[in-house]
A and B are shown apart, each in its own frame.
Chain A
Amino acid sequence: MDVRDAPDVLSVVQTAVTRHGTSREALIPILSEVNQALGYLPTAALTEIHRLLKVPGSQIFSVASFYRMLSTKPRGEHVIQFCESAPCHVVGGREVWQALQDALHLNPGETSADGKWTLLTTSCLGICGVGPVVVIDNDVYGNVEPEQIPEILARYA
């Protein structure tokens, strides 16, 4: 990402803290909001949250690393979430996973070298009725067949 386009870390944190307050119970909502806005939690953001909430840095990091949705590593331009839960698995999820592997050559959690894709696995998204399910950014694809993967990815070209 171009540095000039990057949202200002400190102002994102400030906005989140203003919205949720500085009590201890506000920590996870704040982390979620910052993660959402920036795509991940840069060290500068964690430091600023530590300063404003007066929660020890080690505890902030321990919370940030516990939850799957919070990431301390930058993510790619498009985030692909593949549902790896059983209902999707038994209706063909495995073949779809293979197709994703063939197309991207990424392990779960990895970001492609060009920064375009991050491949994540997720547990059930609660829309198993249309499994297998793949979510790219905010688009949900249901009833996915392995053959459709190249075409779906092409939409984000």
Chain B
Amino acid sequence: MKYYRSHALVCVDPECLAKGAHEVLDALQDELVAQGLIEEVQVLETSRIGGCANGPELMVYPEGVHYAGLTVDDIPYLVEEHFLKGRIVKKFLAPIPKRVDEELGPPQAKEVRVVLRNCGKIDPENIEDYIAEDGYLALAKVLTEMTPEQVINEVINSGLRGRGGAGFPTGKKWQLVRQAPGNPKYVICNADEGDPGAFMNRRVLEGDPHSVLEGMIIAAYAIGASQGYIYCRAEYPLAVRTLNIAIQQARAFGFLGENILGSGFSFDIEVRMGAGAFVCGEETALMASIEGRRGEPRPRPPFPAVKGLWDKPTNINNVETYANIPQIILRGASWFASMGTERSKGTKTFAIAGDVKRTGLIEVPLGITLREVIYDVGGGIKDDKAFKAVQTGGPMGGCLPAEYLDMEVDYESLTAAGSIMGSGGMIVMDEDTCMVDIARFFMEFTQDESCGKCVPCRVGTRRILEILERICAGQGRHGDIEVLEMLCEQIKNTSLCGLGQGAPNPVASTLKYFRSEYEAHIYEKRCPAKVCRALITYEILPNVCTGCTVCARNCPVEAITGARRQTHVINPDICIRCGICMQVCNFNAVVVR
């Protein structure tokens, strides 16, 4: 077989041809001949290299370098630099899509935007924009017309429940803090948002920070606090910056600081940054972190409402909880309570991720069904594949199967189904997802993030992870399922904080709803979704293979044999299941079993 030092693939799809791909191809051939490189560099025609938007495009292997927007005139320089001197030509590199705002599109049908209403609409760095949208009007109303008790009653009547996870009634919590003896009292905003896949809070902080500040100031008035903290994760530098600007502007306008709006009530807010520990989202760990200590949870009771920051009564709520407050005050408790279900009122933001057509942020009234969220708002499953499961509530949530698509989304029904509302992450998975692999994956996360303080969480999650890793590696044993179930039960009942208590949920829920997949892995040594490498084999279909040799040349371990125009064969003992042959075969002759 002829040996080439590199392969240059030119895309010859209609889009690229229209932009002169043929001319580029010819120029490339000519120039390689002229430089005496044609024996070393193989030029191939291919399709769909990049986005097709800025062709002609060229891909060079083995470096894997992707050039785009080439013209005939660029070729001599490119050949000299890249193929002769071995230097990548930066100016021809295809632009790599950087972070873009795909998060928040125009509202879809069935969306109701309360918390997100200003996001993308107002300039978050300009307080006057917020004021023009009735900003700080609720604060003015509270300070001039309402007693703290009236504010608390309004929030209780609205039915608002905490958006940070457990769903504790917000007005009730405020009342407890107000009644708790001790001074001073604190107000904390939990902006740690550590759940993978959740970015609802970030968007509010970056897009409408004043709504959170206003909510906190109203809470402070209601409970009688003079100092507040926003604990924001350090992974959100833009949110921290936006908050600090907003706080300064609110001070300048007299909404924060001494004697707010001449009412005699004083309150100020500081931002504190986390330092990369998931468990700090748990309220007692968060307060330890603000105090400058390791972020380890402590047993509750005493609850923060009684003994919180520096042992003083403390109200802690999530970003979204606070952002709802000004609207509740302005539009009234009954307006808010008109949305949602019997026990879960208002709207909820969700971050939809995974295999769904429209990923991103949404805000929907509670009580909407999962099907409506995934199909009507999310546009359905990508590539029109089949829905397999949806994971709600982050790493302490569960995976729900298709039977639950018509379930109404509220706190109680999610919990009854073995998942949780959590902070609103929603990961949609299609038929190609292996549920054992997913359970393993979440366990890896919680095991890694366990603060290590208590044994069931620290050791138990490790045991579960070891068993799951073994099952995915094809070494599952009889009895594994039963041990997993026992461990899930014990960890849930004996861990100190919500992390350990919720950690088994992804495993328990997949065991419950996708048990046959575990069984296939363990007893039949088969991964039905064809994901777990140890349990799959690659094969070439003899009647489809054209003998083009592409797969054999690309296999990194030379597991494929076969002569040109003859059927190729994979040797399973050598194959490392990297899947490259399947990607490169232009005839879909390679299959996984």
The reply to whether B88 and A123 contact each other, CB–CB distance below 8 Å, is no
The reply to whether A70 and B275 contact each other, CB–CB distance below 8 Å, is yes
Query: In the complex, A84→B445 CA distance in Å?
Result: 9
Number of interface residues of A (CB under 8 A): 51
Minimum distance in angstroms from B390 CB to a CB of chain A: 11
The reply to whether B275 and A32 contact each other, CB–CB distance below 8 Å, is yes
Partner of B98, one of A89, A139, A157: A139
The reply to whether B66 and A89 contact each other, CB–CB distance below 8 Å, is no
Query: In the complex, A139→B277 CA distance in Å?
Result: 22
Stretch at the interface among B126-134, B197-205, B513-521: B197-205
A124 nearest CB neighbor, chain B only? B196
Stretch at the interface among A9-17, A72-80, A111-119, A145-153: A145-153
Q: Enumerate 6 A-B pairs (CB-CB under 8 Å) in ascending A order.
A: A26-B292, A86-B196, A86-B395, A123-B196, A130-B100, A148-B64
The reply to whether B355 and A125 contact each other, CB–CB distance below 8 Å, is no
Q: Is B295 an interface residue, CB under 8 A from the partner?
A: yes
The reply to whether B64 and A63 contact each other, CB–CB distance below 8 Å, is no
B291-320 interface bits toward A, Cβ cutoff 8 Å, 1 = contact, 0 = none = 111110000000000000000000000000
Please, which residues of chain B bring their CB within 8 A of the CB of A26? 292
Minimum distance in angstroms from A103 CB to a CB of chain B: 9
Q: Is A24 an interface residue, CB under 8 A from the partner?
A: yes
Minimum distance in angstroms from B490 CB to a CB of chain A: 24
- Return the 3 tightest CB-CB contacts between A and B, nearest first: A85-B196, A68-B276, A67-B275
Q: Is A42 an interface residue, CB under 8 A from the partner?
A: no
Minimum distance in angstroms from A26 CB to a CB of chain B: 7
Q: Which of A118-157 contact B (CB under 8 A)?
A: 122-131, 139-144, 147-152, 154-155, 157
Please, which residues of chain A bring their CB within 8 A of the CB of B96? 141, 144, 148, 151-152
Query: In the complex, A62→B445 CA distance in Å?
Result: 22
Please, which residues of chain A bring their CB within 8 A of the CB of B66? 147-148, 151
A55 nearest CB neighbor, chain B only? B292
B438 nearest CB neighbor, chain A only? A86
Please, which residues of chain A bring their CB within 8 A of the CB of B590? none
Please, which residues of chain B bring their CB within 8 A of the CB of A28? 272-273, 275, 289, 292
A140-B99 contact, Cβ under 8 Å, with A27-B292, A123-B278, A124-B196: yes
The reply to whether A142 and B97 contact each other, CB–CB distance below 8 Å, is yes
Minimum distance in angstroms from B354 CB to a CB of chain A: 5
B263-303 interface bits toward A, Cβ cutoff 8 Å, 1 = contact, 0 = none = 00000000011111110000000000111111100000000
A: residues with CB less than 8 A from B are: 23-29, 31-32, 55, 59, 62-63, 66-70, 84-87, 89-91, 98, 122-131, 139-144, 147-152, 154-155, 157
Please, which residues of chain B bring their CB within 8 A of the CB of A147? 59, 64, 66
Please, which residues of chain B bring their CB within 8 A of the CB of A125? 235
Query: In the complex, A66→B275 CA distance in Å?
Result: 9
The reply to whether B354 and A68 contact each other, CB–CB distance below 8 Å, is no
Partner of A126, one of B90, B102, B235, B395: B235
Minimum distance in angstroms from B15 CB to a CB of chain A: 18
Q: Is B485 an interface residue, CB under 8 A from the partner?
A: no
Which applies to chain A's interface (DSSP): helix, strand, loop or mixed? helix
Q: Is B353 an interface residue, CB under 8 A from the partner?
A: yes
Q: Is B234 an interface residue, CB under 8 A from the partner?
A: yes
Please, which residues of chain A bring their CB within 8 A of the CB of B100? 130, 142
Q: Is B359 an interface residue, CB under 8 A from the partner?
A: yes
The reply to whether A63 and B277 contact each other, CB–CB distance below 8 Å, is no
Please, which residues of chain A bring their CB within 8 A of the CB of B361? 129
Please, which residues of chain A bring their CB within 8 A of the CB of B578? 98
Minimum distance in angstroms from A81 CB to a CB of chain B: 9
Query: In the complex, A140→B93 CA distance in Å?
Result: 17
**Which one of B199, B236, B442 has the highest number of Cβ atoms from chain A below 10 Å of its Cβ?**
B199
B295 nearest CB neighbor, chain A only? A66
The reply to whether A67 and B196 contact each other, CB–CB distance below 8 Å, is no
A65 nearest CB neighbor, chain B only? B294
Partner of B294, one of A23, A31, A63: A63
The reply to whether A86 and B391 contact each other, CB–CB distance below 8 Å, is yes
Q: Which of B218-250 contact A (CB under 8 A)?
A: 234-236
Please, which residues of chain A bring their CB within 8 A of the CB of B94? 151
Q: Is B433 an interface residue, CB under 8 A from the partner?
A: yes
Query: In the complex, A91→B289 CA distance in Å?
Result: 33
Q: Which of B407-448 contact A (CB under 8 A)?
A: 425, 427, 429, 433, 438, 441-442, 445
Please, which residues of chain B bring their CB within 8 A of the CB of A154? 63, 65, 88, 90, 93
Q: Is B193 an interface residue, CB under 8 A from the partner?
A: yes
Known A-B contacts: A91-B355, A154-B93. Give 8 more (CB < 8 A).
A24-B291, A63-B294, A91-B354, A129-B351, A129-B361, A150-B63, A150-B64, A151-B93
The reply to whether B194 and A123 contact each other, CB–CB distance below 8 Å, is yes
Query: In the complex, A133→B148 CA distance in Å?
Result: 45
Partner of A63, one of B90, B273, B292: B292
Partner of B353, one of A68, A129, A148: A129
The reply to whether A87 and B64 contact each other, CB–CB distance below 8 Å, is no
Partner of A29, one of B198, B272, B293: B272
A25-B291 contact, Cβ under 8 Å, with A154-B88, A155-B90: yes
Please, which residues of chain A bring their CB within 8 A of the CB of B539? none
Please, which residues of chain A bring their CB within 8 A of the CB of B274? 67
The reply to whether A141 and B198 contact each other, CB–CB distance below 8 Å, is no
Q: Is B171 an interface residue, CB under 8 A from the partner?
A: no
Minimum distance in angstroms from B294 CB to a CB of chain A: 4
Partner of A124, one of B98, B197, B273, B391: B197
A124-B195 contact, Cβ under 8 Å, with A24-B292, A86-B441, A151-B93: yes
Minimum distance in angstroms from A54 CB to a CB of chain B: 13
A69 nearest CB neighbor, chain B only? B276
The reply to whether A67 and B354 contact each other, CB–CB distance below 8 Å, is no
Partner of B359, one of A89, A122, A129, A151: A129
Q: Is B360 an interface residue, CB under 8 A from the partner?
A: yes
The reply to whether B449 and A123 contact each other, CB–CB distance below 8 Å, is yes
Minimum distance in angstroms from B356 CB to a CB of chain A: 10
The reply to whether A87 and B197 contact each other, CB–CB distance below 8 Å, is yes
Partner of B445, one of A23, A123, A129: A123
Please, which residues of chain A bring their CB within 8 A of the CB of B197? 85-87, 124, 128
The reply to whether A128 and B98 contact each other, CB–CB distance below 8 Å, is no
A30 nearest CB neighbor, chain B only? B292
A129-B292 contact, Cβ under 8 Å, with A66-B277, A86-B442, A123-B196: no
B194 nearest CB neighbor, chain A only? A123
Q: Which of B386-413 contact A (CB under 8 A)?
A: 391, 395
Q: Is B103 an interface residue, CB under 8 A from the partner?
A: yes
The reply to whether A141 and B98 contact each other, CB–CB distance below 8 Å, is yes
The reply to whether A90 and B291 contact each other, CB–CB distance below 8 Å, is no
Query: In the complex, A129→B193 CA distance in Å?
Result: 16
